[in-house]
Structures are given as structure tokens and as C-alpha cells.
Amino acid sequence: MRARVLVRPKAGILDPQGQAVERALPALGFAGVVNVHVGRLIELDVEDASQLPAMCEKLLANPLIEDYEILEHAAVGADSR
Amino acid sequence: MKFGVVRFPGSCDEVDAQLAASRAGGTVLLWHGDRDLQGVDAVIVPGGFSYGDYLRAGAIARFSPVMGSVRRFAHDGGLVLGICNGFQVLCEAGLLPGALLPNVGLRFLCRQVDCTVVNAGTPFTCACGEGDRLSIPVKHTTGRFYAPDEVLEGMEAHGQIVLRYAPGCNPNGSVRDIAGVANPEGNVFGLMPHPEHAVDLLTGSRDGLVVFQSMRDHTGGAVAA
């Protein structure tokens, strides 16, 4: 099964990368953009999708500083490789 | 006193760590793929970019064979010092509380900073006085220490905050100016500044030596007792 894991900085933790992008957009003429956060996308094929949460807890994310969201095949959509 | 310095693929400060530790005792390199700690009295997890720091700094290194042995060594009370990337590895391994985040300025920093010894009662600082100021270099991109408030309160209460950046010297936005922390038992210590790069006046400061001397003094005392 193809899965995607979205990892993002936990709410409330300063995200200077997101802030830098947020500041860059108006400089390019894109107005009205707020709450920019930069995270990580991990794509993987797994035989047993039930292992995904444990993979996230143990390696793919650091739960102290990051939230993760697992998107399995159906939600990944037709563009998945 | 025998120090073991771990070498991961991507380590780059293990030679300086050995050099610094050699001023306080004997040293041996510990290969990441080996489980044998060779009877060392203390383990140093050095700086660098272990396993390329892929995914997150230190995230992969914590699963290496040598780290399984280091974990047991630490649980048995052995002294473990993590410097920079080594600090990140120990946090990822759960041997130290908290995590290291990208510097608030998003830049790689390489400069001398002043740190204050907050707790001189640990095996890593027992040759210092409380409040001593140490001039030690930092060189990192991911050095902003973070832990949730409730964790920080517990750390403050248990003397786990060992080293702070001196007022006005916090280079990376670390919470509460934290530069180095210990586990509750006090036998595992991690810090972002590099004491091993400050052991000779040739490079500007020898204030880092005190960390290795403290470890030696602590170990010597333990043997004598």
C-alpha cells in the first residue's frame, strides 16, 4: 500500500522556516498569506499499514516537537506513483 | 580513566574529542557498528552529522549497534557525554529530555560563546564552581533546545539544567538560554557548545578542558571510594 506521512512542527513551537517563507511571499507580491508552516512529506509503500503509527512514533516524527498525519492509498489519490 | 569516543559515519569531531579527553585520561575510538564498549569508564558521543543527519539530526544514529550498548551503559550509571550532534543523538534516543530545533535565525553558527555553569554538582562540571563562565565555541544549525514547560519545570527542580548561555549570549533561541542538560540521575550530559574545541590557548580558550577533568575527577573519586 502506498502511504504518505505528513510531518509538521507542533502548534505553539516557533517555526522560523515558516516565518521566513511567510515574509518572502509578500516580497514577491503575494498578499494575504498567514500561518505558513514548513513540514516534511514522507512517501512509502508498506505491506502492513497498521504499522504506520508505530513507525511515526519511533522514527518518522519526533512526537515531542512534531505532529504527524498518515494518508493511506485512497486519500493519497490517483497521482501516487 | 578510559574514555571511549564513538565514531559514526558522518562524525567529524571524534578526533578533537579524543585529543581533549587524552588530556584527562586514555582514549579509544568506538566504531558505530560494534557493540563492545571495550571496558571504557565514559562514553563521548561527538559532534558531526551522524548518518548524514537524514530525517532529523540524530534520528538514525540512535538505532546503531553501538548506541544499544551506550543505552545499557547509561542505564547502569556509566558516564555519557554528548556534544552537539551527540547531544541530538542522546535526545533522540530518549537518554536526555527535550529536542534540538533549527536555530531561530536559520543560519549555521560558528562562534565563541560564553556559558554559565548552573549546576557544578554533576560528574561533568564538578571541577567548576557554580556560576563559572566558560568561553566555548558553538558550531551548529540545529541547536535550539526545546522542551515543554512542564518538562522544563521538572528539569529545573532536579538540577538538570547544567549549562546556560550567559545573558545576551544565547546564539540559537534555546528556551531559557539552555546550553547543556543532564538526565535526572546526572550521569548523562549533552551540550551544544564544543568543549573539545576549547582545550588549548592556541584556539582561543581552554575553558572546555574542565568538562573532561570533571569526568576524570568524578571517576577517580568513585574508584577511590
Is pTM, for the whole model, over 0.90?
yes
Handedness of CA B114, B119, B123, B128 (dihedral sign): positive
Cβ contact A62–B102 (<8 Å) = no
Q: Give the pLDDT band (50/70/90) at residue A72.
A: confident
Whether residues B99 and A65 touch (CB distance < 8 A) is answered with: yes
Q: Chain A: nearest CA to B225, how far in angstroms?
A: 40
A34 touches chain B (CB under 8 A): no
What phi and psi, each to the nearest 5 degrees, are found at residue A28? -95, 5
Evaluate if residue A76 carries a pLDDT over 70. Answer: no
pLDDT tens across B173-207, in order? Answer: 999 999 999 999 999 999 999 999 999 999 999 99
What is the model's pLDDT at position B55?
A: 95
CB–CB contact A59 B146 (8 Å): no
Asked if residues B134 and B197 have their Cβ atoms less than 8 Å apart, the reply is: no
**Averaged pLDDT for residues B151-156:** 98
* β-pair partners for B163: B117, B180
What ipTM describes this predicted complex? Answer: 0.86
Pairing assessment for the beta strands B188-191 and B109-117 based on DSSP bridges: unpaired
- Tell me how crowded residue B180 is: count the other CB atoms within 10 A of its CB: 32
- Rounded to 5 degrees, what are φ and ψ at A24? -75, -35
Going by their DSSP bridges, the two strands B178-182 and B161-165 should be labelled as: antiparallel
As beta bridge partners, residue B110 has B139
* Closest by CA position to B96, among listed A62, A49, A51: A62
Predicted confidence (pLDDT) per residue in A11-35, tens digit: 999 999 999 999 999 999 999 999 9
3-class secondary structure per residue, B95-135? CCCCEEECCCCCCCEEEEEEEEECCCCCCCCCCCCCCCEEE
Q: Contact, B44 vs B19, CB < 8 A? A: no
For the stretch A53-68, pLDDT in tens is 999 999 999 999 999 9
> Which residues in chain B are closer than 8 Å to A16, comparing Cβ atoms?
102-106, 173
CA distance B187 to B47: 19
Give the mean pLDDT of chain B: 96
- Cα separation, B86 vs B196, whole angstroms: 12
- Considering only residues 24 to 53 of chain B, which have any Cβ-Cβ distance to chain A shorter than 8 Å? none
Q: How far is B101 from chain A (nearest CA, A)?
A: 8
B155–A contact, CB cutoff 8 A: no
CA distances from B193 to A21, B64, B84, B147 (A): 29, 24, 7, 18
| pLDDT at residue B159, as a whole number | 97
**Residue B223 pLDDT class (50, 70, 90 cuts):** very low
